[in-house]
Amino acid sequence: MKTQNPTPSPAVVAIPEISFELLHQAHDGMVIIDDHNTILYANPAAETLWGYDPGELTGRPVGELMAASVENGAAPFDIDASVQAVEPVSGEVTFENRSGDYISAEVSLTAARVGAGGRRYRLMMVHGTTGAGHRSRVVELQNTVFRSLSSEIQIQDVADMVCREVETLVPNTVAVLILLDEQSRLRILSGPGMPRRFAAALEDMRLTEADIAALANDLNEATTIVWDSYRSVGISLGLHHCWASAIRTRNGRITGIFALYSRSERNRGGWPAQIVNSCVPFCGVLIEQHEARQHISQLSNYDPLTGFLNRTAVHKVIRSLIGQPGDNHFALYMIDIDRFRDINDALGHINGDGFLKSVSERLKGVSRSNYVLSRSGPNEFLIIVPNTRRDDALRFADILHGCVKQPIEIGGNMIVPTLGIGISLFPENGPDGESLLSYAEQAMRHAKRSGLGMTHLARSEDNKAAQDRLLLGSALRESLAQGLLNLQYQPQIDVRNNTLYGVEALSRWNHPTLGNIYPSRFIAVAEETGQIEAIGTWSLERAVRQILEWDAHGIYVPTVAVNLSAGHFRNRNLPGFIARLLSDSKLEPHRLTVEITESVMMTENEDTNMVLQSIRNLGVALSMDDFGTGYSSLSRLTRLPLTEIKIDRSFIMNLEHDANAQAVTTAVIGIGGRLGMTVVTEGVETVRQLDLLCQLGCDVVQGYLFARPMPPEKLEEWLRDDRLAAVLKEAKESRAAASE
C-alpha cells in the first residue's frame, strides 16, 4: 500500500527527522540511490517532475528516469556509470516524463560513504528549468535572429536556423515558417524537416477573405488552417499534433504563419504552443526583412514598368545559359519599337509608357514560360528563346511581328506598332554574352535601316564591320589628339567674272599604319562614335588659321567654307565659339562660310533655328550643302537664313545627256536666284558641263575641271601660277575646237 510519507528502507542508516523533512519538502527533486543503482527514496518534487504517483519510484532502477532523455540523443552523463565517481558531477538534460511532456532540468550527483560498512550512496538533485530555460533559449534565439538580420546572412539561412532551434527546444517536432503572398497563397519560406507531400499540400492552398479575417481576429486560428484540413495527410506522414500562430505586422496585415508539428502521438502540453507564440514576433520581423530584400531585388533586377528583367539581370541569365553543359542552343532577339520617339513627343511620356506596357504584354502573350524577357532600353526589349536554331528563330520573329499588328488605343489615338528585330544565335554568333548582344544589336540596326517592321539575322560580316568601326574610331580619336588630321582645299570659281570665289575645306586623314582613309569612311565612323563635333571644331580653328597664314604670304582667299555636322547646330554654344574665334583672329566674318546639310533642315527646331540665325547675325555666310539629295521642302528653305545653296554632284554627272537632270538643275538655280542666294555647283569635270551651267545661270562652280582638293602650300602655288587662267584658256580652246 502506497503512503504519502514513506519511511526510509530498513537498510538505510537512520536519518535524523529534520534531515528527512528537509529532503521531503524541498522544491527541487531529491533522489537517493544505492550502490546497486536502485532508487531508495524520491521526494514529492522528483515524483512530480517524472509524473509518478507517490512512492512509485522507490525500488525502481535509476536508469529508468533517464531512459527517455532527448538532449542531443543522450543524457549529459551516465548515472549508472557514476556509481564509482568521487567528485560531484552535473549537467543539463531534457527528458520525456511519464505523462509525455518534455522536461528541462539541471541535474547534479553527489556520492558519499555511509555507515560502518562504508557503503556508497548517491544523492541526485534535480532542478526543473523547463519554463525559465525555454524562455531563456527563445530570448537567445531572438537575439541571434536580430544579429543575423543586421548582417549579410541570407534570409533563407536565418529562417532555417529558427526552425532548427525550435525543433531542438521541442524535440521530435518539425517547425515551418510560411509566407502569405500577394495572391493570398501560402509559400513555405523554411521547413527543412517538413515532408514534401505535406509541404506541397500547404502550398496548394489559397486563403479566402474569410480565412484572413479569422486570422486577424485570432492568430491561433492558424492551427485550423494548416492542420485541421490536412490532419489525415499529416498523420499518414507521421505528424500527429500541430501548434500554429499567424504572424501579423504592426499595421494589422497578416504576412505568414509559424507552425510546429509533432511526430509523437502524445500531447506535449502547453509548452509547444507557448514557444510558437514566443517566436512569432521575431518571425514577423524576419518576414518583413524578407519582403524588403525581395522589393530591393525587384528594383535592382526588374523593370518597374513592364515587370521584365532589366539589362543587368538578363546578362546574368545569358551567362548562365552559356554555361549549361551539352549541345546548347538558344536565340537572342533584340527588339526596337519603330517610331517610338514620335509617339512620345506627340502624346507625352505617360501615354508613351502606356504604349510600351501594351506592347510588352503582347510580347509576353506569345512567349512561352521558359522564355526570358527583358526591357533593355527605353523602347528596346530582349527575348531569349532556349533550344532554338535558325529556322525556328525566324518563325518566332514572324510571330512577334504578328502579335503587334492590331492597333493599340493610346490617348484617344489608334496606333499600329511595328518592330525592328535583330537575332543572334548561340553558339554561332559568339562564345560569350557580349558577343551575342553585339551581334543582336547590329542585326537590329540593320533591320531598322531596311524599313519598318523588318527582321535581320546576324551575320559574321556584320560584326566584322562593327569591329572595323571600333578600331577606326579608336585610331581616329588618337589621330585627333595627336594632330594627324589635315585640311585640303578645293577652289570655287565665280563664273560670272572668272575669279576665285573661295575654297572649300575638306578633312583628310592619312594614318601612319592604316594608310589613307577616305572621308566617306572616317566621317561616318566619326558620326557613329561621337567624334564628328570634335572634327568640326578642329576644322573651324584650322581653317581660320590658314586664312591668316595665306594673308601673311600675300595670298588672298576671299572665303573658306567649312562643313559642320547636324549635331553642331543643336549646340547653343556654337555661335559664341565662332564669335570668339573671329574676335581672337581679327578675321572679317564674311571670309568664313559654314556649310550645313539637309539633315539640319529636316530636324529643324527652335534651338537649331536660333543657332543658325545667331551665326548669320555674326556676318558669317551659311551654305546648304548637297542640296537635292534629301527631303528638304521649299517652305523650310525660305525660313532658314541661308546665303548660298550647293547643287550636289549627282545632278551634274548626267547633266550633258539627261534632260531631267538639266530640268532639276535649272529649277534649283532659279529658286536660288529668286531667294537672293548664291548657287554653287559641285563636281564639274568637263567643259561641256561648265558651258551648260553658265547657260543656266549658275553663279559658282567647283570640280576636277579646275583643281582637285590640295594642301595649303599647293593651293598657294596654284594661285601664284595663275592656274585658273590656264584652265579657263584651255576650256575656251576646247570649246572653239568643238565648234569647228
All three cell numbers of 250, joined, read 504592426
Residue 284 backbone class (left: φ over 0; alpha: ψ -120 to 50; beta: rest): alpha
Amino acid 705: pLDDT: 92
For the segment 692-718, the average pLDDT, to the nearest whole number, is 93
Amino acid 300: pLDDT: 66
Q: Report the alpha-carbon distance of residue 427 to residue 431 in Å, rounded.
A: 6
Q: Is the pLDDT of residue 499 over 90?
A: yes
All three cell numbers of 70, joined, read 532527448
Based on its alpha-carbon atoms, the radius of gyration of the chain, rounded to whole angstroms, reads 46
Q: Is the pLDDT of residue 723 over 80?
A: yes
Nearest to 127 by CA among 41, 20, 49: 49
Half-sphere exposure of 92 (CA within 13 A, CB side): 7
Q: Is the pLDDT of residue 11 over 60?
A: no
All three cell numbers of 650, joined, read 549627282
Work out the mean pLDDT of the chain and round it to a whole number.
Answer: 83
Amino acid 366: pLDDT: 94
Q: Report the alpha-carbon distance of residue 613 to residue 450 in Å, rounded.
A: 36
Reduced 3-state DSSP string for 513-558: CCEEECHHHHHHHHHHCCCHHHHHHHHHHHHHHHHHHHHHCCCCCC
pLDDT tens profile 668-700: 888 888 889 999 999 999 998 999 999 889 999
All CATH 3.20.20.450 domain ranges of the chain, comma separated, are 488-506+533-738
Q: Which long-range contacts (CB under 8 A, 24 or more apart) does 193-201 make?
A: 193/163, 193/167, 194/261, 195/237, 195/238, 195/239, 197/233, 197/237, 198/230, 198/233, 198/234, 198/237, 198/239, 201/230, 201/233
- Tell me if 88 sits within 8 A of 95, measured CB to CB: no
For the segment 239-267, the average pLDDT, to the nearest whole number, is 88
Q: What is the DSSP string of 596-654?
A: E-HHHHHT--HHHHHHHHHHHHTT-EEEEEEETSS---HHHHHHS--SEEEE-HHHHTT
Amino acid 312: pLDDT: 78
Identify the residue with better confidence: 648 or 384: 384
In whole angstroms, what separates CA 216 from the centre of its chain?
38
Amino acid 511: pLDDT: 82
Nearest to 203 by CA among 178, 173, 232, 236: 178
Q: Which of 452-456, 488-492, 523-527 has the lowest mean pLDDT?
A: 523-527
Q: Which of 178-182, 338-342, 459-463 has the lowest mean pLDDT?
A: 459-463
Amino acid 87: pLDDT: 61
All CATH 3.30.450.20 domain ranges of the chain, comma separated, are 20-129
Instruction: Report strand pairing: 419-426 vs 515-517.
Output: unpaired
Q: Report the alpha-carbon distance of residue 646 to residue 698 in Å, rounded.
A: 10
Which one-letter DSSP state was computed for residue 9?
A: P
Nearest to 638 by CA among 601, 669, 605: 601
Reduced 3-state DSSP string for 482-506: HCCEEEEEEEEEECCCCEEEEEEEE
Q: Quick one: CATH architecture of 488-506+533-738?
A: Alpha-Beta Barrel (3.20)
Amino acid 603: pLDDT: 61
Amino acid 3: pLDDT: 44
- Tell me if 258 sits within 8 A of 283, measured CB to CB: yes
pTM of the prediction? 0.48
Q: Residue 281: helix, strand or coil by DSSP?
A: helix
Instruction: Report strand pairing: 102-114 vs 241-248.
Output: unpaired
The answer to whether the bond into 575 is cis (omega within 30° of 0) is no
**Is 708 exposed, middle or buried, given 0-12, 13-18 or 19+ CB atoms closer than 10 A?**
exposed
Q: Report the alpha-carbon distance of residue 33 to residue 22 in Å, rounded.
A: 17
Nearest to 105 by CA among 131, 89, 129: 129
Q: Report the alpha-carbon distance of residue 601 to residue 609 in Å, rounded.
A: 9
Q: Is the pLDDT of residue 520 over 80?
A: no
Neighbours of 275 (CB within 10 A): 22
- Tell me if 9 sits within 8 A of 40, measured CB to CB: yes
All CATH 3.30.70.270 domain ranges of the chain, comma separated, are 311-458
- Tell me if 193 sits within 8 A of 167, measured CB to CB: yes
Q: Report the alpha-carbon distance of residue 472 to residue 118 in Å, rounded.
A: 104
All three cell numbers of 84, joined, read 564509482
**Is 203 exposed, middle or buried, given 0-12, 13-18 or 19+ CB atoms closer than 10 A?**
middle
CATH of domain 20-129: 3.30.450.20
pLDDT tens profile 97-123: 776 666 777 888 888 887 777 788 888
Q: Residue 117: helix, strand or coil by DSSP?
A: coil
Q: Which of 146-155, 208-217, 306-315 has the lowest mean pLDDT?
A: 146-155
Q: Is the pLDDT of residue 731 over 70?
A: yes
Q: Is the pLDDT of residue 70 over 60?
A: no
Dihedral angle sign, alpha carbons of residues 190, 194, 196, 201: negative
Q: Is the pLDDT of residue 525 over 90?
A: no
Amino acid 72: pLDDT: 39
For the chain, the first-to-last Cα distance in angstroms comes to: 158
Q: Is the pLDDT of residue 469 over 80?
A: no
| 620 — pLDDT class (breaks 50, 70, 90) | very high
Give the total residue count for the chain. Answer: 740
- Tell me if 666 sits within 8 A of 696, measured CB to CB: yes
- Tell me if 93 sits within 8 A of 105, measured CB to CB: yes
| 521 — pLDDT class (breaks 50, 70, 90) | confident
Give alpha helix (H) positions in 302-339: 311-322
Q: Is the pLDDT of residue 30 over 70?
A: yes
Neighbours of 630 (CB within 10 A): 15
In whole angstroms, what separates CA 409 from the centre of its chain?
29
Q: Is the pLDDT of residue 438 over 50?
A: yes
Most confident of 73-77, 243-247, 301-305: 243-247
Q: Report the alpha-carbon distance of residue 646 to residue 626 in Å, rounded.
A: 6
Instruction: Report strand pairing: 408-410 vs 413-415.
Output: antiparallel
CATH of domain 311-458: 3.30.70.270
Q: Which residues pair with 177 in a beta bridge?
A: 190, 258
Neighbours of 611 (CB within 10 A): 20
In sequence order, what are the residues at sequence separation of 6 or more whose Cβ sits closer than 8 angstroms to the Cβ of residue 473?
525, 526, 528, 529, 531
Q: Residue 270: helix, strand or coil by DSSP?
A: coil
All CATH 3.30.450.40 domain ranges of the chain, comma separated, are 134-300
What percent of the chain lies above the pLDDT cut of 90?
A: 30
Q: What is the DSSP string of 158-219?
A: HHHHHHHHHHHHSSSEEEEEEEE-TTSBEEEEE-TTS-HHHHHHHHT-B--HHHHHHHHH-G
Q: Report the alpha-carbon distance of residue 171 to residue 100 in Å, rounded.
A: 12
Amino acid 2: pLDDT: 45
Q: Is the pLDDT of residue 524 over 70?
A: yes
Q: Residue 300: helix, strand or coil by DSSP?
A: helix
Identify the residue with better confidence: 557 or 471: 557
Q: Is the pLDDT of residue 157 over 80?
A: yes
The CATH class, in words, for 134-300 is alpha beta
